[in-house]
Structure 1
Amino acid sequence: MGEDVMSWQDCIRDVPDFPKPGIIFKDITPMLANGAAFAQVIDQMAERVGPDVDAIVGVESRGFIFGAALAFKLGLGLVTVRKPGKLPADIHSVEYELEYGVDRLEIHRDALSHGHKVVIVDDLLATGGTAAATVELVRKLGAEVDSCLFAIELGFLDGRGALDSVKVDSLISYD
Structure 2
Amino acid sequence: MNLQDNIRIVEGFPKKGISFKDITTLIRDKDAFKYAVDKIAGYLKDKNIDVVVGPEARGFLFGAPIAYTLGAGFVPVRKQGKLPYDTLSIKYDLEYGSDVLQIHKDAINKGDRVALVDDLLATGGTTSSVVKLIEQAGGEIVTIDFVIELTDLKGREKLKGYDVLSLIKYDI
TM-score by length of 2: 0.95
What's the secondary structure of 2:79's corresponding residue? coil
What's the secondary structure of 1:48's corresponding residue? helix
Please list every run of 5 or more consecutive structure 2 residues that lacks an aligned counterpart in the other structure.
none
CA distance in 1, matches of 2:109, 2:137: 5
CA distance in 1, matches of 2:95, 2:36: 28
Q: CA deviation at 1:33?
A: 0.6
* Residues 1:27 and 2:52 are matched in the alignment: no
Equivalent position of 2:131 in the other structure? 135
Match of 1:62 among 58, 63, 70: 58
CA distance in 1, matches of 2:20, 2:97: 19
Q: Runs ≥4 in structure 1, deviation > 6 angstroms?
A: none
Please list every run of 5 or more consecutive structure 1 residues that lacks an aligned counterpart in the other structure.
1-5
Give the total of aligned pairs. 170
> 5 Å matches for 1:41-80?
41-49=36-44, 50-80=46-76
Equivalent position of 1:106 in the other structure? 102
TM-score by length of 1: 0.94
CA distance in 1, matches of 2:96, 2:19: 17
Equivalent position of 1:3 in the other structure? none
Q: Counterpart of 1:95 in structure 2: which amino acid?
A: K
Q: Counterpart of 1:8 in structure 2: which amino acid?
A: L
Contact 2:88 2:102 in 1 (8 A): yes
Contact 2:89 2:100 in 1 (8 A): yes
What's the C-alpha RMSD, in Å, of the aligned pairs? Answer: 1.0
For residues 39-61 of structure 1, the C-alpha deviation after alignment (integer angstroms, 9 at most, x for no partner) is 01011111221432111001100
State, as a whole percentage, how many aligned pairs show the same letter. Answer: 50
